[in-house]
Structure 1
Amino acid sequence: MKKTLSIPTIDDNATDFDILFNLWNQTNNDNMDVTFEFSNCNFLRQNAIAFLGGLIRLIQSKGGTVWFNLESISKTVKANLERNGFIPTLGLGNGSVPKTGNSIPYREDSYQDKDVVVDYLKMYWLGQEWVHVSEMLKDAIVGTVWEIYANAFEHGKSSVRIFSCGQHYPHRHELKLTVVDFGAGIPSNVRLFFEPDPRAQSLNAASCLKWAFQRGNTTKPDGRGLGLDLLKEFVKLNKGKLEIFSHEGYVIIDNKQEKFANKTTFFEGTLVNITFICDESHYRLVSEMVEEPLF
């Protein structure tokens, strides 16, 4: 089956995620012949880059073929895709090493290697001093975000890799990171966990996500849950934002709310979008606080 996908400008507002999930719905079949064209695209944020990379690998894993209309990509969009490593990683360019600049490079992780992912997050995401955090807090935040990867590897059951990309937006004073997997999704795992109960399949996605976010709840035999408590608290303090999409479920956590909702669009996997605010504050753990002498 042949299909041409016209990729528009994609930001990371709620409607932009709907665009991405609709692209997945259009291509989630076997043996598709898909052409991506970008004549209506002026910019792609990090969520779009991570998601499109995963979508391409998903199509290929299902026996499909992917074509890129490189001539339809504007110079600025193409330069960004080269700079963050998207084009060389997918074999669409000359394979040169990405020049990161304000980018957190696009990457694909096909197996669980904590050291490699932690180094990536420390070096490219929190190692550029865009957000001022102490070394101890940096280690703690990175360790928490690693749990997102670990959950995807252990429960995602994806036939393709885990995909990441980030970006520093100086004019918006924002630092963003997106992690996406195309596996079974959190609601599926929660329903499977409660399967002996006949009511399990009637649990909506928002209810499943809310259960998964409660401290102590886990579908893992080792008792480890999502483990996002520290990330949630830092996002609130920093006035940033944590968003998770899985199936039709949506979570948004910021300094004003912790909201669980159901959307009309469906995506089988899980997408995590993290926004930090790049302000002048210096953040550290409470345990690092040392009382200053009075004199």
Structure 2
Amino acid sequence: MALTLGNIKTNLNGFQRITELNNQLAEDCEIDISSWFDANMCALLGAIFYRKKKENKVIRISDISSDVKEILQKNHFLSYFGGEERPDSYGTTIEYRQFETVGNVYEQFRKYVITYFRSKGLPKMTLALLKRFRESLFEIFLNAVEHSYTQEGIFACGQFFPRRQRLHFTIADLGIGIDGNIYRQLQKRLSAEDAIRWAISGKTTRRGRSGGLGLQWIQDFIKLNQGRLIIVSGAGYWELSKGVVSTHTFSEPFPGTAVTIVIDTADKNSYCLSSEIDSSDIF
């Protein structure tokens, strides 16, 4: 079977096409990626390919544009599927990684975040705020590991777009979804959309602990930065863009959860915390 992926951008249509692809890959397939592909979306595409490979499906990339191929070589995505790597001379990629949920996975992700989230591609901020930003990404990763109940790893990828003046970063899992976790822990049934709203409001399934801190803090920062925060879980889609929230229900669900941040790197504001955190923390 042959499939054309089409333009995959970090928007509703791009995520919808990824969910459709997941349900189309019921047999061996050749995929055409000759159109545009935002590199951070490799997190979702890689997750889907990973699962299909475990199901013994054969997936080949039959056609790929030279521009897209160069990016997917630089961020190491193609190397996971037998392709070549290429050095990233300009440092615009955030490497595609598959994190197994065993061993020292938290330390691996901590080093990953420190490596790729320094000052380049970020608005001007104090060192303490940069640490808090990294902590929030770590909290989102922690949620994916602990609450998705996945045995198939966590997937991450990003890209700095100098011309667009945007930084995109996505973390995805192949777990039970936010709605599935709420039901498993609290025996509360919510639609996929409502479950995302529940999570973004700061609620948590962790007994006796405040929760949603990573998402809550990132949401506050994104509002100030006029960037975007996108959460896809199952059939639910939730987006905060320039302070406005929009939602959607997909006809075909994504088999897990993905959190995407889009930062406006043209932001000239300088940021600091109202109370600076301890400089001796893990970041």
Q: Residue in 2 aligned with 1:52? A: 45
Structure 2 residue corresponding to 1:13, chosen from 8, 11, 14: 11
Structure-1 separation of matches of 2:6 and 2:44: 14
TM-superposed CA distance for 1:224, in Å, is: 5.1
- Aligned counterpart for 2:99 among listed residues 94, 97, 109: 109
Separation in 1 of the partners of 2:174 and 2:224? 31
Aligned residue number for residue 216 of structure 2: 229
Output aligned runs, 1:114-129, within 5 Å. 114-129=106-121
Cα distance change of structure 1 residues 100 and 107 upon mapping to structure 2, 3 Å threshold: farther
Matched, 1:282 2:270: yes
8 A Cα contact 1:106 1:166, kept in partner? yes
Q: What SS class does the counterpart of residue 286 from structure 1 fall into? A: coil
**Is the Cα contact below 8 Å between 1:177 and 1:275 reproduced in 2?**
yes
1:65 to partner: Cα distance = 2.2
Counterpart Cα distance in 2 of 1:111 and 1:98: 28
> In the alignment, is the contact (CA less than 8 A) between 2:122 and 2:263 conserved in 1?
no
Contact 1:122 1:138 in 2 (8 A): no
| Cα separation, 2, equivalents of 1:115 and 1:61 | 26
The answer to whether the 8 A contact 1:85-1:97 is kept is no
- CA–CA distance in structure 1, aligned partners of residues 168 and 233 of structure 2: 19
Structure 1 residue 59, shift from structure 2 partner? 0.6
Aligned equivalents of 1:118, 1:23: Cα separation in 2: 31
Work out which of the residue numbers 177, 180, 188 in structure 1 matches 2:172. 180
Shift of 1:271: 1.0
Report the counterpart of residue 201 of structure 2 in structure 1: 214
CA apart distance, 1:16: 1.2
Distance, in Å, in 1 between the alignment partners of 2:209 and 2:247 is: 23
1:66 aligns with 2:59: yes
Asked if structure 2 preserves the Cα contact closer than 8 Å seen for 1:164 and 1:178, the reply is: yes
How many angstroms does 1:192 deviate by?
2.3
Partner of 2:228: 241
Deviation at 1:274, TM superposition (A): 0.3
Q: 1:286 to 1:254 in 2, by over 3 A?
A: farther
Q: Which runs of 5 or more residues in structure 2 are unaligned? A: 277-283
1:78 is displaced (CA, Å) by 1.0
Deviation at 1:261, TM superposition (A): 4.8
Following the alignment from structure 1 to structure 2, what is the Cα–Cα distance between the partners of residues 82 and 267?
25
Instruction: Compute the TM-score of the two structures, normalised by the length of structure 2.
Output: 0.87
Decide whether aligned partners of structure 1 residues 74 and 261 sit closer, same or farther in structure 2, where only a CA change above 3 A counts.
closer
**Superposition deviation, residue 67 in structure 1:** 2.2
Moved more, 6-15 or 110-119: 110-119
Q: Structure 1: which 5+ residue stretches go unaligned?
A: 289-295
TM-score (norm 1): 0.84
Quickly say closer, same or farther: Cα 1:259–1:73, change in 2 above 3 A: closer
Show the counterpart of 2:72.
81
Q: 1:36 aligns with which of 24, 31, 35?
A: 31
Superposition deviation, residue 98 in structure 1 = 5.2
Q: Look up the SS of the partner of 1:243 in the other structure.
A: strand
User: How far did residue 181 of structure 1 move?
Assistant: 0.9
Compute the displacement of 1:79 (Å): 0.9
In the aligned structure 1, how far is the partner of 2:83 from the partner of 2:181? 35
Alignment map for 1:255-294 (pairs within 5 Å): 255-278=242-265, 279-288=267-276
Aligned match of 1:293: none
Give the letter aligned to residue 162 of structure 1.
I
Calculate percent identity across the aligned residue pairs. Answer: 28
Shift of 1:265: 3.8
Task: Kindly report the root-mean-square deviation, in angstroms, between the aligned alpha carbons of the 2 structures.
Answer: 2.3
Structure 2 distance, partners of 1:140, 1:231, is 10
What is the CA distance between 1:130 and its match in structure 2? 3.7
Cα distance, 1:68–1:141 mapped onto 2, change above 3 Å: same
- Deviations along 1:19-54, one digit per CA (max 9) or x if unpaired, are 011011222x5xx3222223xx23210343222211
